[in-house]
């Protein structure tokens, strides 16, 4: 039986490579003003997604453009919640204007990592989603705090794994400050991804195989080899009867 997977990409982050990436992915996460992006980049990316029949997600973050949303902010819980809501609503306004549909919400950077482990921040994100895009699924890591909390609150979760990021033994992502945190070699990404897809496990940075199931797999739009990697994946996954859709 043919296996079908989703490959997602974080887009609208100012790199201008969306048109090149869109043909090789099946869902996208669009920056909506927290770490990057504005109405123009959101609309441009939505139009490309519609053209290529790519599912559209909101990609909110800590409101921290200088650090690209990759540092945890000291911010009041209510302020963070309102910021996330504002970001999602900005994207939804563009989506409505262009006749598109919001498919999911996926947090970005430091916010993504924090909601995976911290129950208070996870609840802030879930509340923001309920207030703006209720019944919309959330992309979240396997066995994470936010995945468990969302399921308890009857919110749909689409479990995500990273095809181009290295994992620690506890399934947290290796810090980007460390060597080999991001996989840029196309063959290494393919091998990493196939183990997750076919064996439901990930090989960690320490060479340990750890159980992990996922339905969507991320290749970062800011990976320096993103286009080459995605082209390679499309070709090699097809050989193995794995469809990206």
Write the pLDDT tens digit of every residue in 199-240.
999 999 999 999 999 999 999 999 999 999 999 999 999 999
Query: Contact, 226 vs 220, CB < 8 A?
Result: yes
By C-alpha distance, which of 57, 59, 67, 56 is closest to 33?
Answer: 59
What are the backbone angles phi and psi of residue 244, rounded to the nearest 5°?
A: -95, 120
pLDDT above 90 (res 73): yes
pLDDT band at 2 (very low <50, low <70, confident <90, very high): confident
Euclidean distance between CA atoms 20 and 37, whole angstroms? 18
Decide if pLDDT at 35 tops 80.
Answer: yes
For the cut 80, the answer to whether the pLDDT of residue 66 exceeds it is yes
For residues 174 and 177, what is the distance between their CA atoms, to the nearest angstrom?
8
Averaged pLDDT for residues 62-86: 98
Percent of the chain with pLDDT over 90: 96
How many C-beta neighbours within 10 Å does residue 39 have? Answer: 14
What percentage of the chain exceeds 70 in pLDDT?
100
* pLDDT attached to residue 67: 97
Contact predicate 222/10, CB 8 Å: yes
pLDDT band at 185 (very low <50, low <70, confident <90, very high): very high
Q: How confident is the model at residue 1 (pLDDT cuts 50, 70, 90)?
A: confident
Q: For residue range 113-169, what is the model confidence (pLDDT) as tens digits?
A: 999 999 999 999 999 999 999 889 999 999 999 999 999 999 999 999 999 999 999
């Amino acid at each position: 039986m043919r296996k079908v997977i989703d490959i997602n990409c974080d887009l609208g982050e100012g790199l201008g490579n969306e048109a090149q990436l869109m043909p090789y992915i099946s869902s996208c996460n669009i920056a909506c003003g927290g770490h990057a992006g504005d109405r123009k980049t959101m609309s441009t990316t939505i139009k490309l997604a519609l053209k290529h029949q790519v599912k559209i997600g909101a990609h909110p973050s800590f409101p921290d453009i200088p650090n690209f949303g990759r540092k945890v902010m000291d911010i009041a819980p209510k302020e963070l919640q309102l910021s996330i809501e504002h970001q999602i609503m900005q994207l939804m306004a563009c989506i409505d204007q262009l006749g598109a549909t919001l498919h999911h919400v996926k947090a970005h950077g430091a916010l993504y990592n924090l909601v995976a482990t911290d129950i208070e921040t996870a609840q802030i994100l879930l509340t923001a989603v309920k207030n703006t895009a209720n019944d919309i699924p959330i992309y979240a890591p396997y066995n994470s705090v936010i995945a468990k909390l969302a399921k308890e609150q009857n919110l749909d979760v689409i479990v995500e794994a990273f095809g181009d990021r290295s994992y620690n033994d506890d399934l947290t992502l290796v810090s980007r400050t460390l060597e080999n945190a991001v996989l840029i070699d196309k063959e290494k990404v393919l091998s990493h991804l196939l183990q997750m897809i076919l064996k439901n496990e990930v090989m960690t940075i320490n060479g340990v195989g750890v159980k992990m199931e996922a339905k969507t797999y991320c290749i970062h739009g800011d990976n320096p080899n993103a286009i080459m990697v995605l082209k390679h994946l499309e070709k090699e996954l097809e050989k193995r009867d794995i469809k990206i859709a």
